[in-house]
Amino acid sequence: MTARVVLTADDIRRAVRRIAHEIVERNQGLEGVALVGLRTRGVPLAERLAAAIEEFEGQHVPVGALDIGLYRDDISSMELRPRIQPTDMPIGIDGRRVVLVDDVLYTGRSIRAALDALTDFGRPSQIQLAVLVDRGHRQLPIRPDYVGKNIPTSLQEEVDVLLEETDGQDEVRIVHLEGER
Amino acid sequence: MTTEPTTQTTPAIPAGAKWTRRHLLDVDELSPDEIELLMQTTDAMKEVLSRDVPRVPALRGRTIVTLFYEASTRTRASFELAGKALGADVINVAASGSSVEKGESLIDTVRTLQAVGADALIMRHGSSGAPYLVARHVQSSVINAGDGWHAHPTQALLDLYTMRAHLGDPSAGSGQALRGRKVVIVGDIAHSRVARSNIWALTTMGAEVTVCAPPTLLPAGMRPGQPRSEEPLAMPPVRVETDLDIAIQGADVVMALRLQKERMSHGLLPSTREYATLYQLTERRVAAAATGALVMHPGPMNEGVEIAPAVASSLQSVIEEQVTNGVAVRMAVLYLICRSRA
């Protein structure tokens, strides 16, 4: 098993700041914008985006946390570690522009589940998607609006996103799984 | 929405937490990590229940059957609500009104329910061990909703969840959430599946358990003057006290059990009134417990017998909350069990 670093801590910091600018630009301000991170690592990324936006614009953007475990359709893939944590959506999302935030975009199935979950909380006027890494291999018609970095991968590879808040350091690695999958 | 980092308010699920069980027959088989995983999954289920439309598609397409050979209000209803909130189809079968009345055996009944596609059988039976027998004969998951005097695991888990919510240290590791907390269970310990499952659950999570009852209502291995049962599966060590006024001193939780009327007819107690005099949770007795101690009761209550009405409805009482938490805990159980059999 070999690991290769594709984003360093500085790369991640720059990507987050760029996406923060893009969110403000695309939405022509922050009116009605809310960030919703997907558990686990989408949540600290959403909080970093909110902090960066607040630094540039002096405006506070609400942040929610969504757990999609109860909405997944690929039941068998996560069975032995069925971690479910509470969703935290303390403000209404009706009529808001919601930016979903996740670490890696892969098959698109997590995002499909997130769209279902979000719909249970209300009817946003728009849903956008921000990801730190887009690794390709989509199985559903889903595309991101904001991408930290496009990283072409093979199916024999795994993308590991490490974040300070959850893993003690900032780094994105590609791990080559030999003979697996 | 919060500006505080959300990740900090949610304790990490223990790294070793896995769920591989097909059945839930008792809590004595659960590890501290498994209980902690169940508790944290329950936190997520509480959030679902707090929504305007408390329903998620997690178990869509699954069929859950409740099979009750004994009367029940809250357990059956809360399992049904739990299944429906997770999007499962729930079928209720009561022994009365079913083919059981025509003499169908337990095994034949459960095989029939399996044949119609039951993924999980939630079962209550008057005979201790009945769910274990069923689990050996079906492919469906079996969840014990109370068997004889033996076990009532989901009641113990909801009691544990309620205590953990009020007294627990969320940053403590598995098996530590109730470390050092004093829990008194008062009532018919000998015939109570609730007491037995609670003793296992509480000691697993680090609580110090005292049981309190007249000697006739204590199980054989616990009566004063008798040697403790050496049987390894008997029960974990607990303090035994026959005087409630002594037992209750400094307690963080006081749990009263229902006194079943048939205990009197079988000569185990002289009278309900004498029991009430010595063992009722009264305001005076609860005052001797720790400040803010929780008052609990698994229901249904005989107010004026094992618990004074004023105590049952006092601010310290979390009896209604126990019922509410019951739905969330049963959602967590159903979710973990049904997902593990995908």
Q: At residue A79, does pLDDT exceed 50?
A: no
Q: For residue B6, is it within any domain?
A: no
Domain co-membership, B159 together with B144: no
Domain co-membership, B105 together with B178: no
State the Cα–Cα distance between residues B235 and B327, nearest whole angstrom.
27
State the Cα–Cα distance between residues A97 and A15, nearest whole angstrom.
21
Q: How far is B40 from chain A (nearest CA, A)?
A: 7
Q: For residue A176, is it within any domain?
A: no
- At residue A130, φ and ψ (nearest 5 deg) are -120, 130
Q: How far is B37 from chain A (nearest CA, A)?
A: 8
In whole angstroms, what separates CA B94 from the centre of its chain?
21
Which residue in chain A is spatially nearest to B1 when comparing CA positions?
A90
Q: Looking at beta carbons, which residues of chain A come within 8 Å of B86? A: 70
Q: For residue B12, is it within any domain?
A: no
- Test A50 with B43 for CB contact under 8 angstroms: no
- Virtual torsion, Cα B91, B97, B100, B102, nearest 10 deg: -140
Within 13 Å of residue B62, how many CA atoms lie on the same side as its CB?
31
Quote the number of domains for chain A: 1
A11 inside 8 A of chain B by CB = no
Per-residue tens of pLDDT for chain B, all 342 residues? 444 443 333 445 555 578 889 999 999 999 999 999 999 999 999 999 999 999 999 999 999 999 999 988 889 999 999 999 999 999 999 887 777 778 889 999 999 999 999 999 999 999 999 999 999 999 999 999 999 999 999 999 999 999 999 998 767 777 788 999 999 999 999 999 999 999 999 999 999 999 999 999 998 878 877 766 666 556 788 999 999 999 999 999 999 999 987 776 778 888 889 999 999 999 999 999 999 999 999 999 999 999 999 999 999 999 999 999 999 999 999 999 998 765
Q: For residue B2, is it within any domain?
A: no
State the Cα–Cα distance between residues B198 and B204, nearest whole angstrom.
10
Instruction: Please name every residue paired with B256 in a beta bridge, in sequence order, or none if there are none.
Output: B186
Q: For residue B263, is it within any domain?
A: yes
DSSP assignment of A67-123 = --GGG-S-GGGGTT-------B--S--TT-EEEEEEEEESSSHHHHHHHHHHHTT--
List the Cα angle B136/B140/B146 in 5-degree steps. Answer: 70
Domain co-membership, B116 together with B172: no
Q: Looking at beta carbons, which residues of chain B come within 8 Å of A88? A: 1-2, 6, 47
Could you tell me which of A55, A170, A38 has the C-alpha nearest to residue A101? A38
Q: For residue A2, is it within any domain?
A: no
Q: For residue B259, is it within any domain?
A: yes
Ramachandran region, residue A9 (left: φ > 0; alpha: ψ -120 to 50; beta: rest): alpha
Residue reference for tokens 């060590």: B237
Q: For residue A161, is it within any domain?
A: no
Q: For residue B131, is it within any domain?
A: yes
Domain co-membership, B281 together with B297: yes
Chain B positions touching chain A (beta carbons under 8 Å): 1-3, 5-7, 10, 13, 17-20, 37, 40-41, 43-48, 51, 53, 55-58, 86, 335-336, 339-340, 342
Could you tell me which of B121, B137, B157 has the C-alpha nearest to residue B42? B157
Q: For residue A45, is it within any domain?
A: yes
Domain co-membership, B309 together with B277: yes
Structure confidence by residue, pLDDT tens digits, A91-129: 899 999 999 999 999 999 999 999 999 999 999 999 999
Q: For residue A25, is it within any domain?
A: yes
- At residue A147, φ and ψ (nearest 5 deg) are -130, 130
Q: Looking at beta carbons, which residues of chain B come within 8 Å of A69? A: 44, 58
State the Cα–Cα distance between residues A159 and A5, nearest whole angstrom.
10
Q: 3-state DSSP call for residue B243?
A: coil
Domain co-membership, B76 together with B128: yes
Is the CB of residue A102 less than 8 Å from the CB of residue A37?
Answer: yes
Is the CB of residue B56 less than 8 Å from the CB of residue B69?
Answer: no
Q: For residue A51, is it within any domain?
A: yes
- The whole domain housing A149 covers 10-74+85-153
Q: What is the pLDDT of residue B328?
A: 98
Q: Kindly tell me the burial class for residue A30, based on how many C-beta atoms sit within 10 Å of its own C-beta (0-12, 13-18, 19 or more).
A: middle
- Test B3 with A50 for CB contact under 8 angstroms: yes
Domain co-membership, B76 together with B61: yes
* ipTM of this complex: 0.86
Domain co-membership, B200 together with B313: yes
- The whole domain housing B234 covers 154-319
Q: At residue A80, does pLDDT exceed 70?
A: no
Q: For residue B133, is it within any domain?
A: yes
Domain co-membership, B202 together with B331: no
CATH, residue B143? 3.40.50.1370
CATH, residue A25? 3.40.50.2020
Q: For residue A104, is it within any domain?
A: yes
Domain co-membership, B49 together with B182: no
Domain co-membership, B276 together with B309: yes
DSSP assignment of A26-77 = HTTS-TTEEEEEETTTHHHHHHHHHHHHHHHHS----EEEE--GGG-S-GGG
Within 13 Å of residue B71, how many CA atoms lie on the same side as its CB?
2
Domain co-membership, B135 together with B74: yes
Quote the number of domains for chain B: 2
